Amino acid sequence: MREKQELVSIILNCYNGEKYLKDALETVINQSYYNWELIFWDNKSNDRSKKIFDTYKSKKLKYFQSKEHTSLYEARNLAVKKCNGDYIAFIDADDFWEKDKLEKQIKLFENKHVGVVYGNLWILNEKLRKKKIFSKKKLLKGKIFNNIFSDYKIGVITTVIRKKILIQNNIKFESSYNHIGDFDLFIKLSKICEFETVQEPVATYRVHGENLSLKNTKKEIEEMKNWLQLNKEVLNKLQEKQFMTRIHNREFVNIKFNKNFFHTLKFFLKSSYLIKHFKNYILLFTPLFILKKIMWYQ
């Protein structure tokens, strides 16, 4: 007889995700942890996504269609309202999980102070036939707010969240963002609960031409700057400096990849956050064709 398991609600937000959708659905269905429901949120797709979903007859797979197309984070907020589980997890239509992801993670919620469990992940580019681990460093755990800005390594597709933490504290995704809503959510959660980790990869993130964050790096940087302006009062000086360094690093790489050396050099020389670190000198003078081979995941 199986031991009773708490229910996990898995949110799959889909907008024209037909290309990889079957892989994502199969990776949920084949989880070794059996007590889950899938909240399939169709964000007004106009491809074959619903037809693919309809080929699966399990009652554990629940289909919802948005009344209108919304931002990713508004879609996730709407999907959260449909969740019946004790925990909430996220998977995107183009990504997939390890078979024992949920089984490994749910055990870590035995500590009642833990509100989020996350793990490492693989980054995969099938076109280039390349795969790399997201973080070679040990992932942060416990009360991580004081250290999270120096080494933010939380991929939303690796996370499981205790639902009552969201409900009791009225925490949700900031729907005005298109790129950094995950970051904003986990910063909020890091202030009020402990995080636990599975140090090995529990999911795979696919890199391809349609990834929202990869297509709109400039907008992502703008959102990061906006977030800092709105949240300066809750950060200490070190955290502010760490986040500014993160912004400058992102902007530096973006300018470099846009093939404008003199603009890159000008930005580099003006940035006190970049000029102190030797690795940035290497980045500045490395030919772009070599850099693209090294940083293929950007």
Cβ proximity of 56 and 31 under 8 Å:
no
Phi, psi for residue 258 in degrees, rounded to 5: -90, 10
Q: Residue 273: its pLDDT value, please?
A: 86
Report pLDDT for 210: 60
What is the predicted pLDDT for the residue at 295?
A: 74
**Angle subtended at Cα 240 by Cα 235 and Cα 244, rounded to the nearest 5 degrees:** 150
pLDDT of residue 214: 46
- Whether 243 and 228 have beta carbons less than 8 Å apart is answered as yes
Task: Write down the pLDDT at residue 146.
Answer: 94
Q: Output phi, psi for 30, to 5 deg.
A: -90, 10
Instruction: List, in sequence order, every beta strand (DSSP E) within the chain.
Output: 8-14, 36-42, 61-65, 87-92, 96-97, 114-125, 130-133, 160-162, 194-206
Which residue stretches of the chain have pLDDT < 50? 1, 212, 214
**CA separation for the pair 243, 235 (Å, rounded):** 10
Q: What is the pLDDT of residue 260?
A: 79
DSSP 168-183: HTT----TT-SSSHHH
Neighbours of 229 (CB within 10 A): 7
228-270 pLDDT, tens digit per residue, is 999 999 999 999 999 999 999 999 999 998 877 888 999 889 8
Residues 105 and 198: beta-carbon distance below 8 Å: yes
Q: Options 3.90.550.10, 3.40.1410.10, 3.90.470.20, 3.30.930.10; which CATH number does 8-212 get?
A: 3.90.550.10
Say how far apart CA 182 and CA 168 lie, in whole Å.
19
Q: What is the dihedral of CA 196, 199, 200, 204, to 10 degrees?
A: 60
How do residues 150-191 score in pLDDT, each as one tens digit?
889 999 999 999 999 999 999 999 999 999 999 999 999 999
Domain range list for the chain: 8-212, 216-294
Task: Please tell me the predicted confidence (pLDDT) of residue 1.
Answer: 39
